[in-house]
Amino acid sequence: MEPLFAPWRFTYVTSADKTVDGECIFCRALASDDDASTLTLWRGETCFALLNRYPYTSGHAMVAPREHVADLDALGEAELAEIMLTGRNLIRALRRVYGPHGFNVGFNLGEAAGAGIEEHLHLHVVPRWRADTNFISVVGDVRIIPEDLETTWRKVRGALLEIVGEEVDHGGA
Ligand SMILES: [Zn+2]
Protein backbone atom coordinates (compact mmCIF):
# COMPACT_ATOMS: atom_id res chain seq x y z
CA MET A 1 0.00 0.00 0.00
CA GLU A 2 1.13 3.56 -0.76
CA PRO A 3 2.29 5.57 2.25
CA LEU A 4 -0.17 8.25 3.39
CA PHE A 5 0.78 11.88 3.12
CA ALA A 6 -1.85 13.78 5.05
CA PRO A 7 -0.60 17.17 6.28
CA TRP A 8 -4.10 18.13 7.52
CA ARG A 9 -3.65 15.66 10.36
CA PHE A 10 -0.86 17.79 11.76
CA THR A 11 -3.08 20.85 11.60
CA TYR A 12 -5.92 18.99 13.28
CA VAL A 13 -3.75 17.83 16.13
CA THR A 14 -2.13 21.18 16.79
CA SER A 15 -4.98 23.55 15.99
CA ALA A 16 -6.85 25.22 18.82
CA ASP A 17 -9.91 25.48 16.56
CA LYS A 18 -11.43 22.19 17.59
CA THR A 19 -11.40 23.10 21.26
CA VAL A 20 -13.38 26.32 20.76
CA ASP A 21 -16.65 24.91 21.99
CA GLY A 22 -19.86 26.56 21.00
CA GLU A 23 -18.21 29.05 18.68
CA CYS A 24 -19.47 28.97 15.11
CA ILE A 25 -16.57 28.64 12.62
CA PHE A 26 -18.67 30.23 9.86
CA CYS A 27 -19.51 33.36 11.84
CA ARG A 28 -15.89 33.52 13.00
CA ALA A 29 -14.60 33.32 9.40
CA LEU A 30 -17.06 36.04 8.34
CA ALA A 31 -16.02 38.36 11.15
CA SER A 32 -12.32 37.90 10.38
CA ASP A 33 -10.49 39.89 7.72
CA ASP A 34 -7.80 37.22 7.39
CA ASP A 35 -9.13 35.09 4.55
CA ALA A 36 -5.97 32.98 4.36
CA SER A 37 -6.18 31.79 7.95
CA THR A 38 -9.94 31.18 7.85
CA LEU A 39 -9.62 29.60 4.36
CA THR A 40 -12.32 31.95 3.06
CA LEU A 41 -12.48 31.75 -0.74
CA TRP A 42 -15.05 34.34 -1.67
CA ARG A 43 -17.60 36.71 -0.09
CA GLY A 44 -20.92 37.35 -1.79
CA GLU A 45 -23.82 39.62 -0.92
CA THR A 46 -25.69 37.09 1.23
CA CYS A 47 -23.35 34.10 1.38
CA PHE A 48 -19.67 33.18 1.31
CA ALA A 49 -17.44 30.24 0.40
CA LEU A 50 -14.60 28.65 2.33
CA LEU A 51 -12.53 25.48 2.40
CA ASN A 52 -13.30 22.71 4.84
CA ARG A 53 -10.42 22.54 7.33
CA TYR A 54 -10.81 18.75 7.62
CA PRO A 55 -11.44 17.90 3.98
CA TYR A 56 -12.73 14.64 2.66
CA THR A 57 -10.80 15.21 -0.57
CA SER A 58 -8.59 18.02 -1.86
CA GLY A 59 -10.69 21.07 -2.58
CA HIS A 60 -13.61 20.12 -0.27
CA ALA A 61 -15.37 23.49 0.04
CA MET A 62 -18.52 24.88 1.62
CA VAL A 63 -20.99 27.68 0.92
CA ALA A 64 -22.77 29.23 3.90
CA PRO A 65 -25.24 32.10 4.25
CA ARG A 66 -23.96 35.16 6.08
CA GLU A 67 -26.88 34.71 8.44
CA HIS A 68 -26.40 32.22 11.28
CA VAL A 69 -29.40 30.02 10.51
CA ALA A 70 -29.91 26.26 10.68
CA ASP A 71 -32.64 25.76 8.15
CA LEU A 72 -33.37 26.46 4.50
CA ASP A 73 -36.77 27.81 5.62
CA ALA A 74 -34.98 30.73 7.27
CA LEU A 75 -33.65 32.02 3.94
CA GLY A 76 -35.36 33.99 1.18
CA GLU A 77 -35.29 33.01 -2.48
CA ALA A 78 -32.49 35.42 -3.37
CA GLU A 79 -30.30 33.97 -0.61
CA LEU A 80 -31.06 30.41 -1.69
CA ALA A 81 -30.26 31.29 -5.29
CA GLU A 82 -26.94 32.88 -4.38
CA ILE A 83 -25.90 29.79 -2.41
CA MET A 84 -26.61 27.57 -5.43
CA LEU A 85 -24.88 29.92 -7.89
CA THR A 86 -21.85 30.09 -5.62
CA GLY A 87 -21.86 26.28 -5.45
CA ARG A 88 -21.90 26.16 -9.23
CA ASN A 89 -18.98 28.60 -9.43
CA LEU A 90 -17.06 26.50 -6.92
CA ILE A 91 -17.63 23.41 -9.06
CA ARG A 92 -16.31 25.31 -12.09
CA ALA A 93 -13.26 26.46 -10.13
CA LEU A 94 -12.53 22.99 -8.75
CA ARG A 95 -12.88 21.47 -12.23
CA ARG A 96 -10.39 23.99 -13.55
CA VAL A 97 -7.89 23.35 -10.77
CA TYR A 98 -8.19 19.60 -10.12
CA GLY A 99 -10.22 18.04 -12.93
CA PRO A 100 -12.05 15.61 -10.61
CA HIS A 101 -14.23 12.80 -12.02
CA GLY A 102 -17.34 13.96 -10.17
CA PHE A 103 -18.76 15.90 -7.21
CA ASN A 104 -20.92 15.33 -4.17
CA VAL A 105 -22.92 18.47 -3.46
CA GLY A 106 -25.38 18.77 -0.62
CA PHE A 107 -26.59 19.82 2.81
CA ASN A 108 -26.38 17.69 5.92
CA LEU A 109 -29.35 18.99 7.91
CA GLY A 110 -29.28 17.99 11.56
CA GLU A 111 -26.86 15.92 13.57
CA ALA A 112 -28.59 12.69 12.55
CA ALA A 113 -27.77 13.49 8.93
CA GLY A 114 -24.10 13.98 9.73
CA ALA A 115 -23.93 17.74 10.17
CA GLY A 116 -20.76 18.67 12.05
CA ILE A 117 -21.98 22.20 12.72
CA GLU A 118 -25.73 22.02 12.54
CA GLU A 119 -26.56 25.54 13.76
CA HIS A 120 -25.14 27.25 10.67
CA LEU A 121 -26.41 25.88 7.39
CA HIS A 122 -23.77 25.04 4.75
CA LEU A 123 -23.63 23.44 1.33
CA HIS A 124 -20.79 20.95 0.88
CA VAL A 125 -19.01 20.75 -2.48
CA VAL A 126 -16.76 17.69 -2.50
CA PRO A 127 -14.68 16.79 -5.56
CA ARG A 128 -14.54 13.02 -6.16
CA TRP A 129 -12.17 10.71 -7.98
CA ARG A 130 -13.02 7.23 -9.13
CA ALA A 131 -10.47 5.64 -6.85
CA ASP A 132 -11.20 7.59 -3.66
CA THR A 133 -14.08 5.45 -2.32
CA ASN A 134 -12.15 2.24 -2.96
CA PHE A 135 -9.32 3.71 -1.03
CA ILE A 136 -11.55 4.83 1.86
CA SER A 137 -13.25 1.44 2.16
CA VAL A 138 -9.88 -0.20 2.53
CA VAL A 139 -8.49 2.02 5.24
CA GLY A 140 -11.59 2.97 7.22
CA ASP A 141 -11.83 6.60 8.23
CA VAL A 142 -8.46 7.64 6.88
CA ARG A 143 -8.75 10.43 4.35
CA ILE A 144 -5.87 11.15 2.04
CA ILE A 145 -5.13 14.76 1.22
CA PRO A 146 -2.21 15.12 -1.17
CA GLU A 147 -1.89 18.87 -0.70
CA ASP A 148 -1.67 21.33 2.17
CA LEU A 149 -4.65 23.63 2.80
CA GLU A 150 -2.80 26.88 2.12
CA THR A 151 -1.90 25.67 -1.39
CA THR A 152 -5.46 24.48 -2.03
CA TRP A 153 -6.84 27.81 -0.78
CA ARG A 154 -4.55 29.80 -3.09
CA LYS A 155 -5.38 27.71 -6.15
CA VAL A 156 -9.15 27.43 -5.67
CA ARG A 157 -9.52 31.08 -4.68
CA GLY A 158 -7.60 32.14 -7.80
CA ALA A 159 -9.80 30.03 -10.07
CA LEU A 160 -12.99 31.18 -8.34
CA LEU A 161 -12.08 34.85 -8.76
CA GLU A 162 -11.33 34.19 -12.45
CA ILE A 163 -14.71 32.52 -12.92
CA VAL A 164 -16.65 35.27 -11.16
CA GLY A 165 -14.73 37.78 -13.28
CA GLU A 166 -15.59 35.94 -16.49
CA GLU A 167 -19.24 35.94 -15.49
CA VAL A 168 -19.19 39.69 -15.03
CA ASP A 169 -17.49 40.07 -18.45
CA HIS A 170 -20.25 38.08 -20.11
CA GLY A 171 -23.00 39.93 -18.29
CA GLY A 172 -24.04 37.08 -16.03
CA ALA A 173 -25.15 33.58 -17.01
ZN1 LIG B 1 -22.73 30.97 12.43
Determine the pLDDT at residue 2: 41
CA of 6 to the centre of ligand 1 (A): 28
Determine the pLDDT at residue 171: 66
Q: Which domains does the chain have, with CATH numbers?
A: 24-169 (3.30.428.10)
pLDDT tens-place string over residues 92-150: 999 999 999 999 999 988 888 877 788 999 999 999 988 776 554 444 555 555 688 99
Based on the residue annotation, tell me whether 122 is a catalytic residue of this protein.
Answer: yes
Ion ligand 1: residues, CB < 5 A: 24, 26-27, 68, 120
Question: What is the C-alpha separation between 94 and 103, in angstroms, rounded?
Answer: 10
Whether 155 has a pLDDT exceeding 70, the answer reads yes
CA of 84 to the centre of ligand 1 (A): 19
CA of 68 to the centre of ligand 1 (A): 4
**Could you tell me the pTM of the whole model?**
0.80
pLDDT tens-place string over residues 23-80: 799 999 999 999 999 999 999 999 999 999 988 888 999 999 999 999 999 999 999 9
Q: Please answer whether residues 115 and 95 qualify as being in contact, where contact means their C-beta atoms are separated by less than 8 angstroms.
A: no
CA of 26 to the centre of ligand 1 (A): 5
Secondary structure, 3-state, the chain? CCCCCCHHHHHHHHCCHHHCCCCCHHHHHHHCCCHHHHCEEEECCCEEEEECCCCCCCCCEEEEECCCCCCHHHCCHHHHHHHHHHHHHHHHHHHHHHCCCEEEEEECCCHHHCCCCCCCCCEEEEEECCCHHHHHHHHCCCCCCCCCHHHHHHHHHHHHHHHHHHHHHCCCC
Whether 1 has a pLDDT exceeding 50, the answer reads no
Split at pLDDT 50, 70, 90, the class of 12 is very low
Angle at 119 between CA 15 and CA 126, to 5 degrees: 65
Pick the catalytic residue: 60, 120, 122, 124? 122
